[in-house]
Structure formats: structure tokens, C-alpha cells
Amino acid sequence: RGDFMVRINIEMPKKMSRKAQKLVEELREEGI
């Protein structure tokens, strides 16, 4: 799981839309 999150953080562009950021935060809260 940690590896997956690290990969997402690396692949995500530095300028993310707020909608995308919110989705990522929701995934983190769910523990994915």
C-alpha cells in the first residue's frame, strides 16, 4: 500500500487540480 501511494505521488503532476487533490486525500483517509 505504501509503495502504491509513493508511486502515485511521483507520477502526479506538481500542479494538480483541487478536485484531484481532494480525491487523493479521500483515498488516503480510507487507508488505500
Only one residue has cell 478536485, namely 19
Residue ranges of alpha helices (H) inside the chain are 2-11, 18-30
Give me the pLDDT at residue 27, please. Answer: 85
The answer, yes or no, to whether residue 1 has pLDDT greater than 60, is: no
| Amino acid at position 28, single letter | R
Q: What's the distance, CA 20 to chain centroid?
A: 8
Question: Cα dist. 23→26, 29 in Å?
Answer: 5, 10
pTM confidence score: 0.40
Give me the pLDDT at residue 11, please. Answer: 64
Cell of 17: 487540480
